[in-house]
Every structure is written in C-alpha cells, then in structure tokens.
C-alpha cells in the first residue's frame, strides 16, 4: 500500500509518522513546500520519518493508491478539484476535512468523475493524543471496505453510511457542542478571572457537573484554541454552512467562529507568547485581560 497525504500539518505529520513502517511508502504534499523557510519543520519531520515530500500534488497523485486529504476546511473543495485532475483511476481518496455535507458531496462528484473512489471521513475528536487511533466515521459506497483496510493499519475507523454527507453531518453537529463549549469556557472563565470570582464560579460548575475536572479541561480548551484558533474558525464557518443547509439560522455556530477567530488574532498579536506548554488556564486568561487593558489604555490616550 502506498499512502499519500495532502496537507502536511499537525495531523498530517502525526499520521505520516505512525503509518511509517506499516505501509510500503508514505508521500506528502503541502502548499508550503515550495517555500524552503516556511516548510523547514515539515522537511525535517519528513526526513526523520522517511516520508517523501513531493514537489507537486500531481507528482504525489501519480505514485500512490490511497490519499488522505487533511487541509483546512475552506480548502476542502479546491483540493478535491485539483486532485481530480491528476488522480489515477482506482485510487481511494479519503477526505478527513471538516466540511459540510454539501461540500463533501461536491468533492465526491469531482473525484468519482475521475474514476477514483471517494470516502468521507469525520474525525470525531482532536487527533492528539490519540494519534492514528483517533475515532473516525466513514461514509461512501466503499466505506465498509476502507474501514477494514484502515483497521488493519491500526486505525479506529468505522462505517456509518454508504451515503456521502452523513459522517460529516455527525462531525459538524458535534462541533457545535464541543467548539461551543470551548468558546463558552474561554469567555466565561476570562470574565470571571477579571472580576476575581473564578473560584466561586468553578465551584458551582463542579457541583452541577461533578464528572468534569474544570481546571484541567479548561486548561486544555484554552491551549488548543490559542494554538489552533484560525483552523477552528474555518471549521465553524463550515459548521455554520451545515446549519444553513439544514434550513436553520446558524447564530451559535457563527458566534463560535468569531470567538475562535478572535483567539487566532490574539495569537498573531503575540498575546500568548511566553506561555509554556501545560500552563493552567489562568495564564491564558491573564494574558487576554492584560492585552485588553493595553487596548483600553491606548484607546483612552487617542481620545
């Protein structure tokens, strides 16, 4: 089996390193590859894990029989369209991107028109720390067969439907809850920290939801959104699209996307610089509060 990975980011690198040695070869292509400086970390990782980094998507498609598409949500359809121009007949294209059912259906049409197989995949939680064992739901005519193949590689994949769109609908609906909880925690805990009432507030949460370790869970939420806010915002825009496709107003999904984008902006501005790995949620909240204070001071001076 020869595996190709489109999108050699965090998830792509995790899959590549764990698939190494389980398949005949692993190849990868990423939009950053033409820029030596921007792809330095990816190239180092590829060399250490015996991954062939291709010069183009066309090159990669010409030498693999299974393709994992792992790009940002907004690029899901564009990547499928480009891959369809170069993919070999009989190749299996597994779309792991967080896109709406209609987007997945459109992507499936492009790949099938090129006489290749399309399988949609809904990744049901963050890949770290599960790695290759992250729960994945599959959809499509060959979903059951592909689930068996992936299972033999050590993956935790199962078929939910032979129709395209079902797996992504599950993923998107779940994201409203999970990403929504992240956004709620960030807003609630940061505000509570500002007022100095976080201990009292968390105590009431612990009483209502005793099975959740709010200190630990909140640290995880803050750290993941601080690191991947831009990617989460893109996903939530696709979730909003999914809600629209169902005929409802995506007020919650849209608000979550805005909160994720806000966190991404703070990361770009350096708000979270210096916060170490494994930091408590208070470190992120304090940085946000401090950044907001500077913003207010600057605004007052300008006025």
- Using one digit for the tens of pLDDT, what is the confidence trace for 19-50? 999 999 999 999 999 999 999 999 999 999 99
Last residue of a domain, one of 119, 146, 164: 164
CA angle 257/177/237 to nearest 5° reads 25
pLDDT digits (tens, 9 = 90+) for 277-288: 999 999 999 999
Instruction: Give the CATH number for residue 289.
Output: 1.10.1040.10
For the chain, what is the domain count?
A: 2
Does residue 152 sit in the same domain as residue 193? no
Pairwise CA distance, residues 19 & 15, whole Å = 6
**Is 7 found in the same domain as 156?**
yes
The confidence band for 303, taking pLDDT boundaries of 50, 70 and 90, is: very low
**Beta strand spans in the chain (E):** 2-6, 25-29, 52-53, 66-69, 92-95, 117-123, 135-139, 156-161
pLDDT, mean over the chain: 95
**Pair 177, 294 in one domain:** yes
Q: Give, in degrees to the nearest 5, the angle at Cα 238 between 237 and 242.
A: 115
- Which domain covers residue 62, as residue numbers? 2-164
Q: What is the pLDDT of residue 297?
A: 55
Q: Are residues 133 and 232 in the same domain?
A: no
pLDDT in tens, 118-151: 999 999 998 988 999 999 999 999 999 999 999 9
> For the sheet containing 2-6, what is the strand order?
52-53, 25-29, 2-6, 66-69, 92-95, 117-123, 135-139, 156-161
As a whole number of angstroms, the distance between CA 151 and CA 166 comes to: 20
User: At which of 139, 164, 189 does a domain end?
Assistant: 164
Using the predicted structure, report yes or no on whether residue 302 has a pLDDT greater than 90: no
Strand partners, 95: 69, 120
pLDDT digits 0-9 by tens, 75-106:
999 999 999 999 999 999 999 999 999 999 99
Specify the pLDDT at position 139: 98
* Residues 134 and 196 placed together within one structural domain of the fold: no
Could you tell me what percent of the chain has a pLDDT over 70? 97
Between residues 212 and 302, the one the model is more confident about: 212
Cα 171 to Cα 167: distance, rounded to the nearest angstrom: 6
């Amino acid at each position: 089996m020869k595996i190709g990975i489109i999108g050699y980011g965090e998830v792509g690198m995790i899959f590549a390193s764990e698939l190494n040695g389980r398949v005949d070869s692993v190849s990868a292509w990423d939009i950053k590859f033409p820029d030596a400086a921007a792809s330095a970390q990816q190239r180092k990782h590829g060399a250490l894990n015996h991954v062939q980094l291709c010069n183009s998507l066309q090159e990669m498609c010409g030498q693999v029989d299974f393709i994992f598409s792992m790009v940002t949500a907004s690029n899901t359809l564009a990547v499928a369209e480009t891959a369809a121009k170069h993919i070999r007949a009989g190749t299996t294209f597994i779309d792991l991107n967080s896109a709406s059912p209609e987007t997945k259906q459109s992507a499936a049409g492009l790949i099938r028109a090129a006489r290749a197989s399309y399988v949609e995949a809904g990744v049901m939680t963050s890949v770290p720390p599960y790695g290759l064992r992250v729960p994945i739901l599959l959809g499509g005519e060959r979903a059951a067969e592909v689930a068996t193949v992936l299972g033999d590689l050590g993956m935790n994949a199962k078929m939910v439907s032979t129709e395209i769109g079902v797996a992504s609908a599950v993923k998107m609906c779940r994201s409203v809850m999970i990403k929504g909880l992240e956004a709620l925690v960030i807003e609630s805990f940061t505000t509570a920290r500002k007022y100095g009432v976080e201990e009292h507030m968390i105590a009431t949460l612990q009483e209502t939801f005793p099975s959740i370790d709010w200190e630990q869970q909140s640290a995880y939420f803050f750290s993941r959104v601080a690191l991947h806010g831009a990617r989460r915002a893109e996903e939530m825009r696709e979730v909003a699209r999914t809600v629209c496709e169902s005929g409802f107003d995506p007020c919650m999904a849209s608000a979550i996307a805005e909160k994720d984008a806000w966190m991404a902006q703070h990361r770009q501005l350096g708000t979270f610089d210096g916060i170490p790995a494994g930091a408590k949620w208070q470190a992120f909240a304090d940085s946000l509060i401090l950044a907001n204070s500077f913003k207010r001071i600057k605004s007052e001076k300008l006025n």
